[in-house]
Amino acid sequence: MAAAAAGGGAARGCGATSFQRKAAGGSRLAAIAGTRPSVRHGQLLLSSGLPSLDCVLGGGIAVGTLLLIEEDTYGLYSNLLFKYFLAEGVVCGHDLFVASAKEHPDNILKELPAPLLDDTYRNELGEEGTAVKSEDFQDSMKIAWRYQNLPKMEASPTSSTKFGHYYDISKRMSPELFQSIKRHSFYLHEESSLEPKMKACNMNSAYARLLQSIQRIIYQEGFDGSDPQKKQKTILRIGIQSLGSLLWGDDICSSDTPEDIHSLTKFLYVLRGLLRKSLSACIITVPAHLIQNKAIMERVTNLSDMVVGLESFIGSERETNPLYKDYHGLVHVHQIPRLNSLICDVSDTKDLAFRLKRKLFTIERLHLPPDLSDTVSRASKQELAGSAKLLSSGCGAMAIGKRHLDF
């Protein structure tokens, strides 16, 4: 990246973007902690803090890209993802930039989940895995013998490399881990007014201040490669909470005809420019369910690299639906980027759901439980058929009629 091409990059000055292909001769400089190069497109990948989400996103979050999370109705689970991203940054030694208009960033950082020590958790995982495998080998299939040779389906997408950590939500991260981490924060209500250096661009002033703050940090700390003296390269993880909500001074969430529908998209465009030319990655949570004007969400989706929507079952009729009894919500992956290549790593599973166990949050393939009910009533069968209709893949719904034909 900008790091590997620093030798040539220094000659070209600050024009080098972070999308440089790594030099074929391997890394002459030490690799940046917590990253690994992608096989597909040669970019450096970061973990999002949740290994199952990394698999869904095609290996991880590429440096220089933006991950947009569409919040669920009460913002509980998107907050969790936000904290996972930051916690991963702490564990890998990256710098953090937290921006929020809701809570003070220091409070957010105090509530990060504690990382699980590798050996204890992986032992648990490994034990379960081997237990299942030994059962399998013992009985070869008698009836469904055609399926004998198919690979065993994994419920939760996992990868075998040691990239990404597991976190225990019930515990807080201890302050010692924070000692060596440089944290920058932007709390809207404590920020001074706009300095005259940046042209306002007719953008919402809160967004303008945030952009200026991000640009200043990137420039001062040398994330854009402008300071070739820096030996130890690291990544800047930027987290912006609830962008577009009323607290940021934007009324797209509260009115049908907002005053300025371009502020958020302009912000995202300039942010995209900043990310592409620096060693950073960004996570933004947006309360998409509150935005009345759907055109804005379409534009926001086009301007972001990865878009993941969370839909929780809290308060909806699905909470009591027996189909979903093991899960707490659905995950919709709306967009995956094609970086440096014509194709992207789309995962095969399109029906994803998440669940929050006592200590762990995982994203898994949605399994329907077997239909063992003896109910004769049409009502329940119709509801099940309706829910099954929703499991069709992203691009279009299957044309199933409402009536459940009973033979």
Partner 1 sequence: QGKFTLLRDTRTDGSFLVHHFLSFYLRAGCKVCFVALLQSFSHYNIVAQKLGVSLTAAKERGQLVFLEGLKSCLDLVFGEEEEQPGQPSPLQFLSESTSDLKALFDFVRTSLTPNGSDSWKGPVLLVDDLSVLLSVGAAPVAVLDFIHYCRAAVCSQLKGNIVVLVHSNEDSEDEENELVVNSLCHHSDLILWVEGLATGFCKDVHGQIKIIKRVSLQLTAEPDLIQIYQYKIQDKNVTFFARGLSAAVL
Site of interaction with partner 1 (CB under 8 A): 15, 17, 19-21, 41-42, 197-199, 201-202, 211-212, 215, 262, 265-266, 269-270, 272-274, 276-277, 293-295, 298-299, 302-303, 338-343, 346, 348, 350, 392-396, 398
Backbone angles phi, psi at 36, to 5 degrees: -145, 150
Q: How far is CA 70 from CA 104, 253, 283, 313, 338, in A?
A: 21, 13, 11, 15, 20
Report the nearest approach of partner 1 to the CB of residue 342 (Å): 5
Q: Among residues 123 and 302, whose Cβ is nearest to partner 1?
A: 302
Q: Which is nearer to partner 1, 32 or 208 (CB)?
A: 208
Closer Cβ to partner 1, 181 or 218, answer by number: 218
- Give φ, ψ of 321 to 5 degrees: -70, 125
Q: Which residues contact 176 (CB under 8 A, 6 or more apart)?
A: none
Q: What distance in Å separates the CA atoms of residue 249 and residue 164, rounded to the nearest whole number?
A: 35
Closest CB to partner 1 among 41 and 94?
41
Tell me how far, at minimum, the Cβ of 303 lies from partner 1, in Å. Answer: 6
Residue with Cβ nearer partner 1 (15 or 175): 15
The smaller minimum CB distance to partner 1, of residues 286 and 303, is found at 303
Residue 3 phi/psi, 5° resolution?
A: -70, -50
Closest CA to 163 of 31, 32, 35, 306: 35
Q: CA dihedral defined by 191, 195, 198, 201, rounded to 10 degrees?
A: 70
Rounded to a whole number of angstroms, the minimum distance from the CB of residue 198 to partner 1 is 6
Rank residues 9 and 239 by Cβ distance to partner 1 and give the closer one.
9
Of 91 and 303, the one with the shorter C-beta distance to partner 1 is 303
- CA of residue 17 relative to chain centroid, distance: 23
Give residue 389's identity as a one-letter amino acid code.
Answer: K
Residue found under tokens 């490669």? 225
Query: 3-class SS at 231?
Result: coil
User: What does the block give as tokens for 263?
Assistant: 């502020």
Q: How far is the CB of 289 from partner 1 (least distance, A)?
A: 15
* Least spacing, CB of residue 396 vs partner 1, in Å: 5
Contacts of 230 (CB under 8 A, 6+ apart): 222
What sign does the dihedral 282-77-328-74 (CA atoms) show? negative
Q: How near is the Cβ of 394 to partner 1 at its closest, in Å? A: 6
Helix (H) or strand (E) holding 330: strand 329-335
Minimum CB distance to partner 1 smaller for 115 or for 244: 244
Helix (H) or strand (E) run with residue 388 in it? helix 378-389
Please, are residues 61 and 46 in contact by the beta-carbon 8 Å criterion?
yes
Q: Which is nearer to partner 1, 32 or 214 (CB)?
A: 214
Q: How far is the CB of 259 from partner 1 (least distance, A)?
A: 13
Give me the least distance between CB of 124 and partner 1, in Å please: 33
Q: Give the shortest CB-186-to-partner 1 separation in angstroms.
A: 17
Q: Minimum CB separation from partner 1 for residue 177, in Å? A: 33
Q: Output the smallest distance, CB 148 to partner 1, in A.
A: 23
Of 239, 222, 238, 235, whose CA–CA distance to 279 is shortest? 235
- Closest among 391, 330, 337, 314 to 363, alpha carbons compared: 330
Q: Which is nearer to partner 1, 59 or 75 (CB)?
A: 59
End-to-end CA distance of the chain: 61
Query: What value does the CA radius of gyration of the chain take, rounded to a whole number of Å?
Result: 23
